[in-house]
Every structure is written in C-alpha cells, then in structure tokens.
C-alpha cells in the first residue's frame, strides 16, 4: 500500500482517543458543553513496509495501530486500531473508508469509535486535512459524538477534537 494511503489511514486512526484524556470533566459527570482539545498520534511500526508498485483497487484493505499523546514526545494517553478499505479507485486516486476503535486508559476511560470516508491521491506525499465522525463509545464515553480534524504533522498526526455530550 503506498505511503500516502497509510498516512491517510493514520490520520483517521485516532478519532476518539483524545476525547477521554483531554475532556475537562470528571468520569462520573457528563460535560455541559462542547469540549475542544488536541492530541497527537504516532503509528506503531508493524514490521510491514506497506509499499507496493501496484495501484490500489476497490476491496484492498490495510490495518494499523497507533499510540496517542497529549503532546509530541509527551505523555501516552491511549492506543488505537484502524482498518481502511479502498471503496473507489481510479487513475487520479479514490476513496478510503476507515473505521477505528480506541482504548482509553486512566480517568476517564472507555472505548471510542470513529469513521471517515477519506479521499486519496497516490501521488500526494502529504494528504490534505479531513474530518472524522465520532460515532460512539463505551464506559465514560457512551454518549460521545462530534468530529475530529486530522492533519499531518511531521511523523505525527495532529487531531483537533470537537466533542459534544
């Protein structure tokens, strides 16, 4: 899978993990208003190169995992796993459908889910920013919703969260 496809998937990987660790409310109370915060995701090496000379085809898929941090090089606040599938492909690129699950530890704690339909262009080394829908969660995040703006930021992905109760 070309590096740009994996990078796009990494952007979608951390959709909801930041929700748990940056929210300014105790685990037992629901937030009264929208919560806005930023986390950084760094992909965990899988041992696979992810590189191929073949263009992606509809049905191709790949998975990856990442660690989540409050700041680059800072405190680790969670982990995630994401699977992306090519749902549209052509000469100029196509679309990936990515779904992720995020395990959050500490206070608050729980699992969060997110998904996005992400356009890709195999020739792009750095894909454009895109939004990821927060689709639900468990534990302290059972009613989480909102979105995450995902942007490439060096060897990390910057995740700007807007979470509503």
- DSSP string over 61-78: EEEEEEEEESSTTS-EEE
Model's pTM, two decimal places?
Answer: 0.75
**DSSP label of 128:** P
Residue 33 buriedness (CB in 10 A; 0-12 / 13-18 / 19+): exposed
The 10s digit of each residue's pLDDT in 44-66 is 988 766 566 678 899 999 999 99
Q: Which parts of 27-155 are beta strand (E)? A: 35-43, 61-69, 76-90, 93-104, 110-120, 130-137, 145-153
The 10s digit of each residue's pLDDT in 101-138 is 877 776 667 777 899 999 998 888 888 899 999 998 88
């Amino acid at each position: 899978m070309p590096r740009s496809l994996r990078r796009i998937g990494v952007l979608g990987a951390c959709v909801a993990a930041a929700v748990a660790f940056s929210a300014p409310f105790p685990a037992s109370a629901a937030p009264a208003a929208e919560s806005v915060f930023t986390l950084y995701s760094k992909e965990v090496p899988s041992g696979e190169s992810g590189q191929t000379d073949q263009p992606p085809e509809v049905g191709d898929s790949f998975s990856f995992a990442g660690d989540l941090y409050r700041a680059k090089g800072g405190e680790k606040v969670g982990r995630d796993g994401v699977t992306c599938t090519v749902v549209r492909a052509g000469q100029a690129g196509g679309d990936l459908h990515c779904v992720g699950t995020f395990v959050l530890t500490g206070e608050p704690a729980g699992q969060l889910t997110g998904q996005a339909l992400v356009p890709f262009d195999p020739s792009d080394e750095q894909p454009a920013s895109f939004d990821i829908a927060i689709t639900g969660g468990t534990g302290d995040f059972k009613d989480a919703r909102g979105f995450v703006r995902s942007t490439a930021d060096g060897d990390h992905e910057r995740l700007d969260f807007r979470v509503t109760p």
